Amino acid sequence: MHPPIAEKKVKSRNYDAVAGIYEMLANLYSFGLIRRAKLAELDHLKPGDRVLYLGAGSGEDAVAAARMGAQVTAIDLSVRMIDRLRRRMARKRLEAELIAGDALALAPDPLFDAVCGNYFFNVFGPDDMPVVLARAATYVRPGGHLMIADMAPPSGLLGPLAWLYLKFGLSFFWLLGLASQHPIYDYRPALQRLGFRQVALHDHRLFGIGPALYRTLVFVRPEISA
């Protein structure tokens, strides 16, 4: 049996130390693909949608969603990440609800039209990740979207090369105390078990060729049956 969410060890304190450079490093390492995978979610949002960003970091995706007219809530355990996001939003004269706190401890009412967990679920080890995913799923209103931008599970002939590249990044993060060592997750089976239906999958490849390195997944929470 899993321990209660509140007792879970979360890896976020170290994110304070890298708050100022995290996005830049991620986008350099991935030639911008990490950002592209996040921004692909915008196609599945519309102005006025209530959107929650879990483990938002400094929130380039949250800023983009607010700019297109979504009502953004963003939460991160790292105070520095949230401070940075707050300054960004202010500079662009955008409004958003920004929370420095534990994304696993929310009880939203009403539920969100869309919940985005971008490079968030892979912070957690294989025992905790499905529990965190299930928790996030409870924040989505029936008929709403759960979206995930993350690494793509390597496949195909060049899959081993993709695996090496992604494992290098993951190990670097692990060394800095920013993530657990774990396989590259495929979130689809866990979400399908929760009754979510996949409605889109965007793969992102270096220069548009070769193996998929990052992926955007979009799921719909089933409507409550009458």
Ligand X SMILES: C[S@@+](CC[C@H](N)C(=O)[O-])C[C@H]1O[C@@H](n2cnc3c(N)ncnc32)[C@H](O)[C@@H]1O
Please, which residue, 34 or 191, has the CB nearer to ligand X? 34
CA triple 81-177-161, angle to 5 deg: 100
- 219 sits near ligand X (criterion: CB under 6 A): no
Question: Is residue 180 involved in binding ligand X (CB under 6 A)?
Answer: no
Q: Which of 96, 106, 120, 128 binds ligand X (CB under 6 A)?
A: 120
Characterize 118-139 residue by residue with b for buried, 16 or more Cβ atoms within 10 angstroms of its Cβ, and e for exposed: bbbbbbbeeebbbbbbebbbeb
Using alpha carbons, select from 131, 56, 39, 43 the residue that is nearest to residue 96. Answer: 56
Amino acid of residue 218: V
Residue 76 interacts with ligand X (CB under 6 A): yes or no:
yes
15 makes contact with ligand X (CB under 6 A):
yes
State how beta strands 212-220 and 140-151 pair.
antiparallel
Q: Indicate the residue among 148 and 212 with the shorter CB distance to ligand X.
A: 148
Q: Tell me the CB-side half-sphere exposure of residue 85, using CA atoms within 13 A.
A: 33
The interface region with ligand X, picked from 77-85, 88-96, 189-197, 201-209 by CB under 6 A, is 77-85
Shorter beta-carbon distance to ligand X: residue 102 or 158: 102
83 contributes a contact to ligand X by CB under 6 A? no
Per CB under 6 A, 128 contacts ligand X: no
CB of 73 to ligand X, least distance (A): 12
Q: How far is the CB of 103 from ligand X (least distance, A)?
A: 3
Q: Which member of 41, 66, 70, 78 binds ligand X (CB under 6 A)?
A: 78
**150 touching ligand X, by CB under 6 A:** no
Judged by CB under 6 A, the chain residues 99 through 118 that form the site for ligand X are 102-104, 118
Closest approach of ligand X to the CB of residue 166, in Å = 13
Q: What is the DSSP letter of 69?
A: T
d(CA 57, CA 79): 9
> Whole-angstrom Cα distance, residue 19 to residue 225?
43
Spell out the alpha helix ranges (H) of the chain: 13-18, 22-29, 33-39, 60-67, 79-91, 129-137, 159-175, 188-193
- The window from 4-12, 106-114, 134-142, 157-165 that contacts ligand X (CB under 6 A) reads 4-12
184: which residues sit within 8 A by CB, 6+ positions away?
A: 122, 151, 152, 153, 154, 163, 166, 167, 170
Considering beta carbons, is residue 45 or 56 the nearer one to ligand X?
A: 56
Residues that bind ligand X (CB under 6 A): 10-12, 15, 23, 38, 55-57, 75-78, 81, 102-104, 118-120, 123
